[in-house]
Amino acid sequence: MLNTDIPEGHTLSVLVLSGTIEVNGQEIAREAQMVLLGRDGGGVIIEANNDAKLLVPTGPPIEGPVIAHGPFVMNTAEEINQAMRDF
């Protein structure tokens, strides 16, 4: 079981790589599913119903535009093109 607090304004997502989990005693997620929590902050309880593997990224939201192409994520198309040239 994971019991943690998330700061207000942060985004928290839970990606289930394998197994099954229950989030805050309400939502069930299985392999290859994702749960996205609101930015209200507060406590989060994640309980595994079996041998689960999770990816749990959290942080403040990205302010500004986001552009993705292939493995590259930048703020503008020009930055994507430069990243591709640099690669």
pTM of the entire structure? Answer: 0.71
Q: What is the pLDDT of residue 19?
A: 96
Largest CA distance in the chain: 47
Burial of 58 per CB tally in 10 Å (0-12, 13-18, 19+): middle
pLDDT digits (tens, 9 = 90+) for 42-76: 999 999 988 999 999 999 988 889 999 999 999 99
What pLDDT, on the 0 to 100 scale, is given for residue 38?
86
pLDDT tens digits along 11-48: 999 999 999 999 999 999 999 999 999 898 899 999 99
